[in-house]
Amino acid sequence: MAITKQKGDIAEAYVTYLLKQNGFNVLVPWGEDNRYDLVTEKKGIFKRIQVKYVTPKNGVLEVPIRSSNNYNIIHYSSNDLDIIAAYSPEQNKIYFIPINGIKNKSVCKLRLTATKNRQKKLVVMASKYESRFDLLEK
C-alpha cells in the first residue's frame, strides 16, 4: 500500500472517530470515484467532507484544495464537497475548513504560529478552524 494511501486512511479513521465522539452519524461512500471521503449527519443536516493528512512546515499547514494523481489534477468546489477536514498528526488536531471560505483554488494555508513580521492581512490562523464541529451542524 502506498504511503500516501496509508496516511489518508489514518486521517479518515481519526476524523471518523472524533465525529462519532461528537454525536455525528458518519457515512462512507462506496468506491473511489467520489470527491468526498465521508458524509456526516446530525439532526438531519448532511455535510460532505474531504479529509486531508497535512504535516506542518515552518509553522504553516498547507492544505491542498485539489486531488491529483499521475494523470489529473482536480480542484474541489462547493459542487463537490462542503468541508475539508485537515488532520495534523504532529498536533493531533483536526481543522474543519468550509470550502466556500477558501479563496485560493489550489491550497489553503493555515498558520499555526504568528508571522515573524506580525503581518495579519491575508493570514488565516489555524485556530479559526480547529475542532469546529459546529460548522457541520449549520
pLDDT digits (tens, 9 = 90+) for 90-130: 989 999 999 998 877 788 899 998 777 777 677 788 999 99
Give the total number of structural domains in the chain. Answer: 1
CATH code of residue 50: 3.40.1350.10
Average pLDDT of the segment spanning 21-27: 97
Mean pLDDT, rounded, of the chain: 90
Q: Which residue range(s) make up the domain with 19?
A: 3-137
pTM: predicted TM-score of the whole model, two decimal places: 0.90
CA 13 to chain centre: 13
